[in-house]
Amino acid sequence: GENVEQHPSTLSVQEGDSAVIKCTYSDSASNYFPWYKQELGKRPQLIIDIRSNVGEKKDQRIAVTLNKTAKHFSLHITETQPEDSAVYFCAASSYNTDKLIFGTGTRLQVFP
């Protein structure tokens, strides 16, 4: 079945450094790729998403890139801050199933 793999599972960076989280998906019909941030004890919240007709999208310090050929997409956070510390989930959905498949999550820790 459909699968989304996410790496790394944990990531520690110094404040001000960049962080990159990578995901690969298996269903070639996938056309929507959101990223969610979950702070400790809170619900997941969308931070950025990208559709298959776009290669890159930016929103201030965060960006997502998509490589459809390789079935790979990545989240880039620049100038990290302690408040970026959270668990980040990638996900993928396709137009022919309407399921949303999540990766297993990356715990990002930003040290001051």
Would you tell me which residues interact with other proteins (CB under 8 A)?
A: 1, 6, 9, 31-32, 34, 36, 43-46, 49, 51, 89, 91, 93, 95, 97-105
C-alpha angle 73-76-78 in degrees, rounded to nearest 5: 175
Locate tokens 């989304």: which residue?
4
Q: Shortest approach of other proteins to residue 17 CB, angstroms?
A: 25
Cβ-in-10-Å burial (0-12, 13-18, 19+) of 71 comes to middle
Q: Shortest approach of other proteins to residue 15 CB, angstroms?
A: 26
Q: Shortest approach of other proteins to residue 5 CB, angstroms?
A: 10
Choose between 14 and 40: whose C-beta lies nearer to other proteins: 40
Locate tokens 């298959």: which residue?
52
Choose between 6 and 24: whose C-beta lies nearer to other proteins: 6
Count of CB atoms situated within 10 Å of the CB of 58:
12
